[in-house]
Structure 1
Amino acid sequence: MECAVFPRFANAKESDRLALLDFKNSVTQDSVKIMNSWNDSIPLCNWIGVTCNPHSGRVVVLNLENQKLIGSIPPAIGNLTFLTGINLGENVFHCDVPEEIGRLLRLQHLNLTHNSFSGKIPTNLTHCTHLRVTTLLEESLLGSLVSDAQNQLHGQPPPDIGLTLPNLRVFAGGLINFTGPIPVSLSNASGLQIIDFANKSLTGTTPRNLRSLAVLGLAGNRFGKELPSSIANLSNQLQRLTLGENLIHGGIPIGIGNLVSLSILGLENNYFTRCVPTFIGKLQKLEELDLEVEVGQLDRHEKLDLANNKLSGEIPSSLASCTNLDSLHLEEQYLNLSYNDFVGEVSQEGIFANASAIFLSGNSKLCGGVSQLHLPPCSSFSSGKRLTLIVISVFVGNNLTGRITAWIGNLSSLNSLLLAMNNLQGSMPYELGQLSGLENFQVCENHLSGKVPTSIYNISSIQFVSFAQNQLHGQLPPDIGLTLPNLLVFAGGLINFTGPIPVSLSNASGLQIIDFANNSLTGTTPRNLGSLAVLGLAGNRFGEELPSSTANLSNQLQRLTLGENLIHGGITIGIGNLVSLSILGLENNYFTRSVPTFIGKLQKLEELDLEGNRFSRSIPSSLGNLTLPVGLYLHDNRFEGSIPSSLGNCQKLLALNLSSNNLSGTILNSQQPSQLY
């Protein structure tokens, strides 16, 4: 068909705005009043819960988790075609999930947990082939089902789910009344990392050959037979395996011993018999072993080797009830629980009455027991004594107020401090630098002010840092890449950092993400970062030609955003070396000359934003060679001549904006773009 250059549809942002207003009208109760921001006096991208692509302005994330909303999801949600994430968890949305969600072909994350949805899971959700994370916990949603009069739904997961959703990374549906077998086809979703279908009525066997699987949660189902030998074919990356309350009987199969990465093994409340195999003690990463009830039933047990692990929690009281045992032992004679992290009071009954038969050394949080064990009395333990805090992760998005105080520096074992999305204010204490084992530090989206303490930049173990969206200022230390050599993610967008980008960042060779958009940084782009996937430096003050060092960025780079940087001159030929680029944003600079033809050779490109520059001459015909679904934003330049006929070859052209140029002609395309300007 022939497409004119002038708009044939409403502006793309207008389409998103109308869809969101329809969503707002479907909300019947908004006690927190967050929808008050959804009005024409506020830019759409500033509406609470809405995240836009900074280049195209299209809505990419809708996050309204735990906002106490009551209402339903309107069909218009299917018009938000650029959505990659929907999070509506912990509200009171009801009625059916609209079929139109299946039109969101870019969708990667869908969270509908803790709502009151009913009806069927939309069958066309399987069209969302990019879907990686699906959580439907505690809903009454089931696929291919029929409800009874009381809406007590039941049914089976689709047998071909692993074929229709091959990109799944997380699949969670706990507390939904699924029945029937676990689909064998899940083995086709080879990238699956988390499966959580606890507390259902599933049968069958565990999926196999999922080499990336880290968590398999199937507790509270109805396997009702011996644990299959196929468990040996689970991923050797598996860290958590929970199969409690499944009516399983027999012994623990030897295949469990192959799961060398296990940190949590839950087999509680089943009917396991025989002895606990000695290979359990060789799972050197084990931190929690739950054999509750069963341990006390192992009346012919002879050996239990649990020493030198990282087991935590209380010692099961059922061990004391093994009255027929001569010994529970490591070293062929004893019960050895030494060098773990058990807590609480040690029993004085059963095997625990024989101090010569048990080893408990290396467990600093145990108390009580018979006097021969020489443990401290439990009364000597105060609530705060012997505190070893390993991770703070529950403080994200909890509306915390106040300041981060200096006492935090006393938590010497802290490896993660996650305080993002709160209302913290004031300066960060210098004592944060005492957290010598810190790996993950995130304080983004608060109201912190002042300079980042220099002590933080000396914690060499840090891998993840995010200061973004605070009122911080100052300069990045010139030696930051030397003092933080293990950095993987470094984010500080929307902070008033000034000065040059440190050249030393090239020494942090594992860096994968650098995001310092909307600061006042100068200098040049870092080079020789072979693992870099994202470089976000839009909205700074480079103010010169794009450096030739751009060619030395990683060939793994997927996103390069340098918009609004006062850059002039031409696009350096080095951009053509970035063969993995999917997003290239150079908008609102002072680029001149022509757009080089090698841009059309970036075969993974999905978005090219050259808006608001001074590019001249003709649009290169090589852009018609792009093969993926792509958005081209070439408006507000000085292009002239005819529109290349080759653009008609872009069968998956998603958006094309050529407005405010000196172009003529038409586009012949058998499949018109979804947005045309």
Structure 2
Amino acid sequence: MPLQYSFRIQTQSLVFITLVLHMIIIISTLPNATARTGKNETDHLALLAFKSKIIHDPQGVMSSWNRSLLFCDWEGVACGSRHRRVISIHLRSRGLVGSLSPYIGNLSFLRVLELFNNTLQGEIPPQVGHLFRLQTLHLTRNNFGGEIPANLSHCSNLVHLVVSYNHLVGNLPKELGSLSKLKRLIIQRNHLSGGIPQFIGRLTSIEIVSTAQNLFTGSLPNALGQLKNLKGLGFGGNQLSGTIHPSIYNLSFLANLSLAGNQLTGTLSPSLGLMLPNLQLLQLWGNKFTGPIPLSISNCTALVSLDIGSNNFSGKLGINFGGLQNIREIYPSENNLGSGEPYEMNFIDSMANCSNLGTLDLAVNQFRGLLPNSMGNLSNRLFYLTLHQNFINGKLPSAIGNLVNLNYLSLSTNRFKGTIPSTIGNLQKLQRAYLHGNTFYGEIPDSVGNLSLLNELSLGDNRLVGNIPSSLGNCKTLLLLDLSQNNLNGTIPKQLFRISAFSISLDVSRNGLSGSLPAEVGNLKNLMELDISENELSGEIPTSLESCISLENLYMEGNSLN
């Protein structure tokens, strides 16, 4: 063969090979070229079936789910780089309305199904159980109903099962006990019922269990003590009864323990804080626990929230709070705490180091004795302080004025006496102050006029004397003022009737007030209740009262009004 022919043939072969390779590249880049062949077509059809069940798509997510793009490029869809199969669907908070297609079970490479915060309804398709590679199923905040499919147990790689805030019913399927890799079981805010099953003890990898706000009954299973990796246990808001099984105290990694809002009984282990040293949240309110609050809680140095209110705890509150420097909330209210000792409130001394404390609720107990001056050493972050319905006596320390970030102060229904310290005027962020039902005497300090953000002030049922300070007129945001059942005299300051914000109540009844009812009362167009009864008021009832168009209750008896 002549050399030129051989060269030409070789050249033509190279050209042909080049053209073939070029065609392969072109074909491989055509839209859906791979999506329409083999198992990738299965994923493509499954996604189209998913789309067909979405009846409302306010953000237009599904507009990209069309044939002009490879399905791996559709919004919210991700594929693996090797097989180009769907491995995750992330459609969080997209406003989608519809249901979940059973063809979702054909996405056999799916690892993550994230549909949090949409409006999907109907049942969770049992075909989800075909997804043996699935690691995360997150369907929280939808409207799914029916039962949790038992064959989710086939998803042997499942790590996160999160289906809270739906309308699921029935028992927890016992088959879920085979999910050995499960770390998070979060099913709160549904309508699930039955008992907390013993099989939960087989979930040896579990770190967080939350069944809160359901209809579970029965006792806490002792099998919980087998979950050595458990960090969060939330069973609040159910109908559980019985005692806390001793095995739960063996969960030394536990950070969050919430059993609130049940019917649990018995006492807490004195060693609670020693056995659960990593606690950050201890939430036991709304049960029937009795006995003392364990002193060992002072060992929980990471504690952020201590919420043990609405129980029957009793005895001295002897916790040393000095080491709880992370604590933000202390709620031992509505118990029978109190020892009767004259200085039993001195546990407040140890709170001086709690620099993050924002809420201290000691209300509705049996506390007695004096309120220590160390009250003024509490955190400058404290915004909520309640001591009402106790038997605390003595003077209100003037150091209360150091708590400059207080927003809410309730000292009512105690046995406080002495004058109201003028330092209360330092609390310029105060919005609600309740000091009624004590034996405070002396005059109302003029400094209350500094409380420009005040919405409600209740000083009724004390022994206060003197005039109503005109400086109260500076409290332009007052909605409620109760000065009833005192020994106040003089006239009602006209400045009070210039507070147009008054809408709930203005009550100055059962005092010794004199003079007339000012015509400025007509400014209170939004006021619902006015009580000036049982005073020594005289003169004509002003016709401007007709301007108080929101007035529902008007009490003027026991005066000398014309």
TM-score by length of 2: 0.58
Which consecutive unaligned segments of at least 5 residues does structure 1 have?
1-6, 142-152, 384-677
Which of the numbers 193, 211, 225 marks the counterpart of 1:197?
Answer: 211
Which of the numbers 341, 358, 374 marks the counterpart of 1:343?
Answer: 358
Quickly say closer, same or farther: Cα 1:265–1:222, change in 2 above 3 A: same
Which of the numbers 168, 175, 183 marks the counterpart of 1:169?
Answer: 183
Which of the numbers 3, 6, 11 marks the counterpart of 2:38?
Answer: 11
CA–CA distance in structure 2, aligned partners of residues 317 and 241 of structure 1: 16
Which residue identity does 2:296 align to in structure 1? F
1:178 aligns with 2:205: no
1:127 aligns with 2:144: no
How far the C-alpha of 1:231 sits from its partner, in A, is: 1.6
2:150 and 2:175 in contact (8 A); partners too: no
How far the C-alpha of 1:357 sits from its partner, in A, is: 7.7
1:188 aligns with 2:202: yes
Q: 2:236 maps to which residue?
A: 219
Which of the numbers 125, 128, 142 marks the counterpart of 1:98?
Answer: 125
1:337 and 1:360 in contact (8 A); partners too: no
1:219 and 1:245 in contact (8 A); partners too: yes
Q: 1:306 maps to which residue?
A: 321
Q: What secondary structure is seen at the aligned counterpart in 1 of 2:113?
A: strand
Quickly say closer, same or farther: Cα 1:117–1:322, change in 2 above 3 A: closer
Which residue identity does 1:98 align to in structure 2? P
Which residue identity does 1:239 align to in structure 2? A
CA–CA distance in structure 2, aligned partners of residues 327 and 132 of structure 1: 55
Q: CA RMSD in A?
A: 3.2
String of CA shifts for 1:630-672, please: whole Å, max 9, x gaps: xxxxxxxxxxxxxxxxxxxxxxxxxxxxxxxxxxxxxxxxxxx
CA–CA distance in structure 2, aligned partners of residues 353 and 366 of structure 1: 23
Quickly say closer, same or farther: Cα 1:316–1:117, change in 2 above 3 A: closer
2:266 and 2:290 in contact (8 A); partners too: yes
Which of the numbers 264, 278, 293 marks the counterpart of 1:248?
Answer: 264
2:141 and 2:165 in contact (8 A); partners too: yes
Q: How does 1:81-480 map to 2 (within 5 A)?
A: 81-141=108-168, 153=169, 155-162=170-177, 164-202=178-216, 203-206=218-221, 207-234=224-251, 236-254=252-270, 256-257=272-273, 258-294=275-311, 297-301=312-316, 303-313=318-328, 315-316=330-331, 318=333, 325-326=340-341, 336-340=350-354, 341-343=356-358, 354-356=370-372, 361=377, 363-366=379-382, 370-372=397-399, 375-377=402-404, 378=406
Quickly say closer, same or farther: Cα 1:96–1:159, change in 2 above 3 A: closer
CA–CA distance in structure 1, aligned partners of residues 68 and 75 of structure 2: 13
CA–CA distance in structure 1, aligned partners of residues 189 and 48 of structure 2: 32
1:266 and 1:289 in contact (8 A); partners too: yes
2:94 and 2:117 in contact (8 A); partners too: yes
Which of the numbers 34, 37, 61 marks the counterpart of 2:88?
Answer: 61
Which residue identity does 1:249 align to in structure 2? T
Quickly say closer, same or farther: Cα 1:302–1:310, change in 2 above 3 A: closer
Quickly say closer, same or farther: Cα 1:315–1:352, change in 2 above 3 A: farther
1:227 and 1:253 in contact (8 A); partners too: no
How far the C-alpha of 1:300 sits from its partner, in A, is: 2.8
Quickly say closer, same or farther: Cα 1:346–1:287, change in 2 above 3 A: closer
Q: What secondary structure is seen at the aligned counterpart in 2 of 1:224?
A: strand
CA–CA distance in structure 2, aligned partners of residues 348 and 27 of structure 1: 51
1:289 and 1:311 in contact (8 A); partners too: no
Q: What secondary structure is seen at the aligned counterpart in 1 of 2:161?
A: strand
Q: What secondary structure is seen at the aligned counterpart in 2 of 1:271?
A: coil
How far the C-alpha of 1:299 sits from its partner, in A, is: 4.4
How far the C-alpha of 1:266 sits from its partner, in A, is: 0.5
CA–CA distance in structure 2, aligned partners of residues 346 and 250 of structure 1: 23
String of CA shifts for 1:386-420, please: whole Å, max 9, x gaps: xxxxxxxxxxxxxxxxxxxxxxxxxxxxxxxxxxx
1:108 and 1:132 in contact (8 A); partners too: yes
1:216 and 1:240 in contact (8 A); partners too: yes
Quickly say closer, same or farther: Cα 1:382–1:50, change in 2 above 3 A: farther
String of CA shifts for 1:225-261, please: whole Å, max 9, x gaps: 2222122222x11110001111112211245230111
CA–CA distance in structure 2, aligned partners of residues 266 and 190 of structure 1: 24
CA–CA distance in structure 1, aligned partners of residues 266 and 374 of structure 2: 28
TM-score by length of 1: 0.49
Q: 2:102 maps to which residue?
A: 75
Q: What secondary structure is seen at the aligned counterpart in 2 of 1:94?
A: strand
String of CA shifts for 1:146-190, please: whole Å, max 9, x gaps: xxxxxxx4x32133532x211101001002222222222222221
2:345 and 2:372 in contact (8 A); partners too: no
CA–CA distance in structure 2, aligned partners of residues 300 and 352 of structure 1: 12
Q: What secondary structure is seen at the aligned counterpart in 2 of 1:232?
A: helix
Quickly say closer, same or farther: Cα 1:247–1:346, change in 2 above 3 A: closer
String of CA shifts for 1:206-240, please: whole Å, max 9, x gaps: 51121211111111122222222122222x11110
CA–CA distance in structure 1, aligned partners of residues 287 and 95 of structure 2: 39
CA–CA distance in structure 2, aligned partners of residues 185 and 313 of structure 1: 36
Which residue identity does 2:143 align to in structure 1? S
CA–CA distance in structure 1, aligned partners of residues 336 and 220 of structure 2: 32
String of CA shifts for 1:581-604, please: whole Å, max 9, x gaps: xxxxxxxxxxxxxxxxxxxxxxxx
Percent identity between matched residues is 27
CA–CA distance in structure 2, aligned partners of residues 86 and 156 of structure 1: 23
CA–CA distance in structure 1, aligned partners of residues 361 and 293 of structure 2: 21
How far the C-alpha of 1:381 sits from its partner, in A, is: 6.8
Which residue identity does 1:286 align to in structure 2? L
CA–CA distance in structure 2, aligned partners of residues 198 and 80 of structure 1: 32
Quickly say closer, same or farther: Cα 1:351–1:307, change in 2 above 3 A: farther
Q: What secondary structure is seen at the aligned counterpart in 1 of 2:242?
A: coil
Which residue identity does 1:180 align to in structure 2? G
1:314 and 1:342 in contact (8 A); partners too: yes
Q: 1:23 maps to which residue?
A: 50
1:34 aligns with 2:49: no
String of CA shifts for 1:487-514, please: whole Å, max 9, x gaps: xxxxxxxxxxxxxxxxxxxxxxxxxxxx
CA–CA distance in structure 2, aligned partners of residues 186 and 113 of structure 1: 21
How far the C-alpha of 1:30 sits from its partner, in A, is: 1.2
How far the C-alpha of 1:310 sits from its partner, in A, is: 3.4
String of CA shifts for 1:404-443, please: whole Å, max 9, x gaps: xxxxxxxxxxxxxxxxxxxxxxxxxxxxxxxxxxxxxxxx
Give the number of the structure whose alpha-carbon radius of gyration is greater: 2
Q: What secondary structure is seen at the aligned counterpart in 2 of 1:220?
A: coil
